[in-house]
């Protein structure tokens, strides 16, 4: 089994109520692949400049993430995002976006990556997502993320790309925006009617929910008292989710598998936000993941007490 | 066992994307007592004018709600709220509030009501809530709701009242506002430090969550494709919750009891919003409640699949 992810590998400059960080390692494919690496073999597809050095590479290598398809462009700089969060941490204000090497990115997958059993198309230009998707015709499970910017500016190609994937992970505002439907249950149904059999809807501090043919599943967020940096929470969520799914080796995951995957996603997101950038995920242990998964189960379980006579 | 609730019994004029209704029966104590009536004996404490007629009374009587403590003020008019909802149904704009009889309300409970085993102080002036609370010294379980208006204008007396109850049901923005703490987990802990052992936090379309000494419990909202009128959802939530708790007859409800109660609350809220005012709750059957409770269980349950060898 192996999991390929295509998306941004970047530097982020971050400002949250807990401090500032300049040019820390970030990007959707970075957060995704580090989270997924706890569950399966991961291959990252992306592009960086020569500001991406041994220190950054070592972060991937320490987690066993394969970087053969991480293209390096000499004389160019990596994607760079600068953002600031308000006190309640739910809204990110983009201060600056420098596409740099990403502007001309045209991924060509190695045979090993193209034969991955699971593929995740992180948030990039939908046309690029589609080109990568078609390079992996044999992938059993294909997931996709996107954002409001592409929904507005590349709607048609995004919908075409969505029609060729199995699982879409968007946040609730994006699902509503894509479908022009304010009611989330209707919006998710319409999203699934475009092709994907699973709509996995991220809801930020409220957790996530999943719509499948078998029904509706609600996943809480972990009630952290301290959120240091929400950047990468959604990508870590997807990484945990698809990493777990790939590890099962089932080309047609059951409802139980999808539900457990969504909970592992929420587990990985809950760790990601406990420190800046990828710092918490870098020092995470498998025992911590199991323990928090068990905590999620306790947060969701109830049994009616026996009534007094 | 019996459950007393004090709060508004009112007329509401409502405007939602699904239509308009003029002067339908509403008010927090109305929605609460109708929802609670499916679980236990309910006594409603409130005040109405002589625009409150036999038709309105019949709604309470049909559900067996005791109205002995519903004061009628001759020559006066009932509380009247006018509101409008946006397309996404999460924000209510108050168009007009006429306190009428409510301006001089000074509840004096009958001995039968004052000896209720469970008491709920719906959203009214905190001083009034406190006066009612102190008329029921023997109540085993006391709950309280409030709103942003009282948090801003009557903060000290609200905090005093909160210190004398067991369960607080506020929405997440209100919990943050009361504690001046943007992080919900911290805010809920601070709320519990004021006295109540349970913080039951309503999250609108995202459901609710509960903080107790035993930990955190997350309750989804039911994924309705059509929400007709959200008015009274929070009060129906509290009604289901406290009605169920009272029905157990346990003066010190267990964590299981509290969790099941919160789910019954979410069940009752999910029905309340399916039609204008109290219409859906009026025509609700007990079998529908049991069926939806079972659906909530399915929405929250997951089991890891057995891994391939």
Q: A226: nearest CA in chain B?
A: B183
CB contact under 8 A, B302 and A263: yes
Q: Confidence class of residue B90 from pLDDT cuts 50, 70 and 90?
A: confident
Mean pLDDT of A184-190: 97
pLDDT at A309 over 60: no
Helix (H/G/I), strand (E/B), else coil: A158 = helix
The pLDDT, as a whole number, for residue A23 is 95
Q: A186: nearest CA in chain B?
A: B225
Tell me whether 0.90 is exceeded by the ipTM.
yes
Minimal Cα–Cα distance from A57 to chain B, Å? 32
CB contact under 8 A, A225 and B263: no
Contacting residues of A for B207, CB less than 8 Å apart: 206, 218
Contacting residues of B for A183, CB less than 8 Å apart: 89, 224-227
Contacting residues of B for A247, CB less than 8 Å apart: 307
Mean pLDDT of A159-179: 97
Q: What is the largest CA-CA distance in chain B?
A: 79
Q: Confidence class of residue B53 from pLDDT cuts 50, 70 and 90?
A: very high
The pLDDT, as a whole number, for residue A192 is 98
CB contact under 8 A, A302 and B259: yes
The pLDDT, as a whole number, for residue B134 is 97
User: Measured between CB atoms, which of B203, B256, B305 is closest to A206?
Assistant: B203
pLDDT at B110 over 70: yes
pLDDT at A210 over 70: yes
DSSP B201-267: EE-GGG-EEEEETTEEEEEPPP--S-----TTHHHHHHHHHHHHHHHHT-SS--HHHHHHHHHHHHH
- Rounded Cα–Cα distance for residues B118 and B243 (Å): 9
φ, ψ (nearest 5 deg) of residue B217? -135, 130
The pLDDT, as a whole number, for residue B247 is 97
User: pLDDT of B235-252, one tens digit each?
Assistant: 999 999 999 999 999 999
Q: B172: nearest CA in chain A?
A: A206
Identify which has the larger pLDDT, B175 or B102: B175
User: Measured between CB atoms, which of A89, A184, A299 is closest to B218?
Assistant: A299
Minimal Cα–Cα distance from B242 to chain A, Å? 14
The pLDDT, as a whole number, for residue A103 is 83
Best mutation target, B88, B180, B183, to test chain A (most A CBs within 10 A): B183
Contacting residues of A for B245, CB less than 8 Å apart: none
- Candidates B196, B182, B190; CA nearest to B144 is B196
User: pLDDT of A57-116, one tens digit each?
Assistant: 999 999 999 999 999 999 999 999 999 998 777 778 899 988 888 888 999 999 999 999
User: Measured between CB atoms, which of B88, B206, B302 is closest to A260?
Assistant: B302
pLDDT at B297 over 80: yes
Contacting residues of B for A88, CB less than 8 Å apart: 176, 182
The pLDDT, as a whole number, for residue A44 is 98
- Candidates B238, B22, B17; CA nearest to B147 is B238
Say which residue the tokens 């509101």 belong to: B83
Q: Confidence class of residue B10 from pLDDT cuts 50, 70 and 90?
A: very high
The pLDDT, as a whole number, for residue A260 is 97
Mean pLDDT, chain B, integer: 95
CB contact under 8 A, A216 and B308: no
pLDDT at B20 over 60: yes
User: pLDDT of A25-65, one tens digit each?
Assistant: 999 999 999 999 999 999 999 999 999 999 999 999 999 99
Q: A222: nearest CA in chain B?
A: B216
Minimal Cα–Cα distance from A190 to chain B, Å? 11
CB contact under 8 A, B302 and A217: yes
CB contact under 8 A, A260 and B216: no
Q: A307: nearest CA in chain B?
A: B248
Best mutation target, B295, B305, B308, to test chain A (most A CBs within 10 A): B305
pLDDT at B89 over 90: no
**Are the beta carbons of A128 and A107 closer than 8 angstroms?**
yes
User: Measured between CB atoms, which of A253, A263, A302 is closest to B217?
Assistant: A302
User: pLDDT of B171-224, one tens digit each?
Assistant: 999 999 999 999 999 999 999 999 999 999 999 999 999 999 989 999 999 999
Mean pLDDT of B81-100: 86
CB pairs under 8 A between A and B: 124
CB contact under 8 A, B223 and A248: no
The pLDDT, as a whole number, for residue A92 is 82
DSSP B1-56: --EEEES--EEEEEEETTEEEEEEEE-HHHHHHHHHTTTS-EEEEEEEETT--HHH
CB contact under 8 A, A304 and B218: no
Identify which has the larger pLDDT, A102 or B233: B233
Q: A212: nearest CA in chain B?
A: B299
φ, ψ (nearest 5 deg) of residue A217? -135, 130
The pLDDT, as a whole number, for residue A308 is 58
Minimal Cα–Cα distance from B98 to chain A, Å? 31
pLDDT at A286 over 60: yes
CB contact under 8 A, B248 and A184: no
The pLDDT, as a whole number, for residue B309 is 52
- Rounded Cα–Cα distance for residues B162 and B175 (Å): 12
User: Measured between CB atoms, which of A89, A183, A263 is closest to B227?
Assistant: A183
User: Measured between CB atoms, which of A185, A218, A250 is closest to B300?
Assistant: A218
Name the pairing type of β-strands B3-6 and B118-121: parallel
């Amino acid at each position: 089994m192996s999991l390929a992810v295509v998306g941004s590998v970047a530097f982020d400059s971050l400002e949250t109520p807990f401090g500032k960080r300049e040019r820390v390692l970030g990007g959707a494919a970075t957060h995704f692949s580090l989270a997924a690496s706890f569950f399966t073999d991961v291959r990252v597809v992306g592009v960086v400049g020569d500001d991406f050095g041994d220190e950054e590479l070592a972060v991937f290598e320490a987690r066993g993430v394969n970087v053969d398809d991480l293209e390096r462009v000499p004389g160019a700089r990596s994607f760079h995002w600068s953002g600031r969060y308000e006190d309640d941490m739910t809204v990110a204000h983009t201060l600056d976006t420098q596409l740099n090497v990403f502007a001309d990115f045209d991924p060509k997958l190695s045979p090993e990556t193209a034969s991955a059993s699971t593929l995740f198309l992180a948030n990039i230009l939908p046309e690029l997502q589609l080109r990568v998707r078609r390079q992996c015709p044999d992938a059993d499970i294909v997931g996709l993320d996107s954002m409001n910017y592409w929904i507005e500016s590349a709607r048609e190609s995004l919908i075409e790309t969505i029609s060729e994937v199995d699982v879409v992970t968007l946040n609730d505002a994006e699902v509503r925006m894509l479908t022009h439907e304010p009611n989330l249950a209707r919006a998710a149904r319409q999203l699934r009617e475009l092709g994907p059999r699973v709509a996995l809807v991220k809801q930020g501090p409220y957790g996530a929910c999943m719509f499948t043919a078998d029904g509706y599943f609600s996943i809480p967020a972990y009630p952290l008292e301290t959120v240091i940096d929400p950047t990468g929470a959604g990508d870590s969520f997807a990484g945990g989710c698809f990493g777990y799914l790939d590890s099962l080796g089932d080309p047609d995951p059951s409802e139980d598998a999808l539900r457990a995957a969504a909970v592992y996603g929420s587990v990985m997101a809950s760790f990601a936000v406990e420190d800046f950038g990828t710092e918490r995920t870098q020092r995470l242990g498998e025992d911590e993941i199991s323990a928090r998964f068990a905590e999620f189960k306790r947060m969701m379980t109830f049994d009616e007490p026996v009534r007094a006579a």
